[in-house]
Amino acid sequence: MNCWHVNEDTFDAKTKNLRSQETVFTIGNGYFCTRGTFEEGYPRATPSTLLFGVFDDIPISEEELANAPDWTPLQLFVNGERFRIDRGTLLSYYRTLDIQNGVLRRSVHWESPGGVQLHVESERFASLADEHLGVIRYSVTIEESPNHQPVTVAIWASIDAAQGNYDVLHWETVDQGHQQNLLWLHSQTRHTLVQLAQTLSFTTSTPGFQKEIVDSDLAPSIRFYGTLTPGVTLTTEKLVVMYTSRDGVEPVNAALTHHQELLDQATRLPEPDIHSALKLDTISAEPVHACTQLYDQLLAQSSVAWKRFWDIADIVIEGDDKAQVSVRYNLYQLRINISPHDSRYNIAAKGLTGFGYRGHIFHDTEIFMLPFFIYEQPEIARNLLLYRYHLLDAARKKASSNGYRGAQYPWESTLSGEETTPTAIIHPETGELVPVLNGMIELHITASIAHAVWEYWRVSGDDEFMRDYGAELLLSTAMFWADRVEHNDERNDYEITNVIGPDEWHEHVNNNAYTNYMARSNIQYALYIFPWLLKNDPAKAEELADKLKLSAKTLNHWRDIIGHLRIPQDLPTRLFEQFDGFFQLDTLPQEKYHGRKDSYQGILGMEQVQKYRIIKQADVLMLLTVMLQDFDLQTKKVNWDYYYPITDHDYGSSLTPALHTILACELGLADVAYKQFMLGALVDLENLRGNTPEGIHAAGAGAVWQAMILGFAGLRVTDNGYTTRPTWPDNWQRLTFNFYYKGQLQHVDLHRQ
């Protein structure tokens, strides 16, 4: 088994599976991602290329990532019959995603209705070395033909401008044309007016084919026509370069110039060392043509960039190939869905791999994905946090609109930082139109962002970031919480009422343990960082004190809140109550629903489920995981024993399993830890939640890293260094990984005793 490959050896035409696999076989580089649809098309397919931070307006949900014109189409005709898998006879099929090098390959044996048997090989990649570049190599071999006669072949490479987010078209053509061998399409989003240029070149080294360029506003194309005799192969290379107005350039000129420079390389390139870069064992004896040489060179450059990533981020598991592949796949997804240098946008809940959640940003980044970047790619982690810093003014505006000082971050956001949570949706399970309260009362995202700033600083030691950006964010969010809490005169404490915690099946609750604890920590971070700033940069501290109107009275009030904020916990037993009154809710007889195919909310409805002690996802247990080093083992065990059995592990949240893995490892529950881990690691590869067609679970991918490193490896980082305490599932013999601590790369190699 190749533990760098995700494979598919049968074709399933069912729409749900088809679209799920489109998601699984996505390629990308952070600037764009392209779903794994077939170049020649298929009915009910959902082709999608989403560009990092490129949005267009829509009703209700404000805006969504705009599906760009599809750069992948290749139409093949043999003796006038169109090649497509739903026509003719499929003789064999194989597809693989090489996650080590970011290459998607496919091999198809097919017989046309007219009796021509052919073999199609395709491979494509989004260059990690050149973020503007997508490349396809497409080869056709005629294996048999009626009476062994030559076969007429036509192959069209195009850009399809008629692609939308399902039924919504976001792009319109501004202009289209060609110069020499380059074809270009200039588009813009209909409302936000983002400009996009896509340039196309299409080449072949096979002799005897005539070339035609066809201009069109909807499907400009370059076409080859010729004949092939049985046993002869036609190999073509399609290069597409993409630039948008977000790049700070005139897109059409930038794309044409960049593309022409690539083509010029083809006449002067040395023989590429592609075999070394890809660790191949044999070298073809065929002559190297200019187009083939360029393709190999571009692939080699991209592979070198991938190698740099994997040299740091790879996790090696010995003894479990299935776990090994799934872990690497999740790490691959974390890399392809983020631009390493653009801090104007963040990682969406579905990344750039599908239309789910419309490209909106949640707390998924800070709680689930950011730890991976903090430890493995700290420069990207910094940019992810800069996104939040750049939107501080919008967070202040949201707090002010709700009557509070400080900064309150939106539950969903895009580029402006304004709240983009829809006010109502059609429930995906019940079909009813339901109000969406998260944007109004799911507040814990603000504390999650502050926690992420703190963790980045704690692990990276990036004092410059804390001085210039982090301190202001911590102080501003603390100010919000200090205004949002209410004093309870009867108990003489502070409380936070009318919220939604991480368990979104219970709304309008008071004193959610996770929310209150994280809010208190947020204020504690601020109270620590202000004296630190006074010591290290008095001028900056004075500037912020003036800007935020900080006073000794304000800071004393914060200290009082820390000492008296209600955290619902039974101190003798150490059991947290998820929120006030949770223990008084009815017990749900889960055995009654054995064999169900839906979540408890989907079965009971949104109102009824709130009456029961059944939860969608880790809430109290999420607190014990996020704040891992705040709690002793007894506290973790007591709360695990109570909350783990009442969590919907089958149809609740995809975010829960990997978090449960960490606690299960600490509690010595290796079998439970492994089971939960695999539920998280395979959520997309096996479409375990049924919603992979909408895109990958990006937060789940980040949680898989946490489960591996904080769970099975038991990594703990303190001011004095780090320790590990491994938990070994059956058959695991070795676990190796790297991470950054205070700017220094650490290597850990654990062996089972």
Q: Which of 237, 504, 577, 694 is catalytic?
A: 504
Q: What span, in angstroms and rounded, lies between the C-alpha atoms of 362 and 410?
A: 8
Are the beta carbons of 703 and 368 closer than 8 angstroms?
yes
Nearest alpha carbon to residue 700 among 413, 327, 419: 327
In what side-by-side order are the strands of the sheet with 233-244?
A: 5-8, 89-98, 103-111, 117-126, 133-144, 233-244, 195-204, 182-189, 171-179
Token pair of 378, please?
Answer: 């700290």
Three-class SS of residue 511? coil
Nearest alpha carbon to residue 323 among 725, 705, 743, 752: 705
Are the beta carbons of 316 and 737 closer than 8 angstroms?
yes
DSSP one-letter string for 599-626: -HHHHH-HHHHTTBS-BSS-SHHHHHHH
Three-class SS of residue 467? helix
DSSP one-letter string for 477-489: HHHHHHHH-EEET
Contacts of 148 (CB under 8 A, 6+ apart): 230
Q: What span, in angstroms and rounded, lies between the C-alpha atoms of 177 and 185?
A: 7
As beta bridge partners, residue 282 has: none
Are the beta carbons of 83 and 212 closer than 8 angstroms?
no
Q: How far is C-alpha 468 from the geometric centre of its chain's CA atoms?
A: 28
The reply to whether 504 belongs to the active site is yes
Q: What span, in angstroms and rounded, lies between the C-alpha atoms of 579 and 516?
A: 10
Dihedral, CA of residue 354, residue 359, residue 364 and residue 369, to nearest 10 = 70
Q: What span, in angstroms and rounded, lies between the C-alpha atoms of 247 and 344?
A: 12
Three-class SS of residue 64? strand
Dihedral, CA of residue 559, residue 565, residue 570 and residue 572, to nearest 10 = 20
Three-class SS of residue 423? coil
Task: State residue 30 phi and psi, 5-degree precision.
Answer: 95, -35
Token pair of 658, please?
Answer: 């990997």
What Å distances lie between residue 178 and 135, 266, 455, CA to CA? 19, 20, 51
What Å distances lie between residue 362 and 414, 493, 740, CA to CA? 9, 31, 26
DSSP one-letter string for 551-611: -HHHHHHHHHHHHHB---EETTTTEEPSSTTGGGSBPP-GGGGTT-SS-HHHHH-HHHHTT
Token pair of 717, please?
Answer: 């980082």
Q: What span, in angstroms and rounded, lies between the C-alpha atoms of 421 and 303?
A: 39
Q: What span, in angstroms and rounded, lies between the C-alpha atoms of 621 and 615?
A: 11
Nearest alpha carbon to residue 620 among 748, 468, 448, 503: 503
H or E element: which one contains 740? strand 734-741
Q: What span, in angstroms and rounded, lies between the C-alpha atoms of 107 and 123?
A: 9
Q: What span, in angstroms and rounded, lies between the C-alpha atoms of 463 and 456?
A: 10
Are the beta carbons of 417 and 391 closer than 8 angstroms?
yes
As beta bridge partners, residue 363 has: none
Task: State residue 590 phi and psi, 5-degree precision.
Answer: -65, -30
H or E element: which one contains 210? strand 210-214
Q: For 35-88, list the strands marked E by DSSP.
A: 49-51, 55-57, 63-65, 74-78, 81-82
Are the beta carbons of 589 and 606 closer than 8 angstroms?
no
Q: What span, in angstroms and rounded, lies between the C-alpha atoms of 83 and 622?
A: 51
Q: Give the catalytic positions in this structure.
A: 504
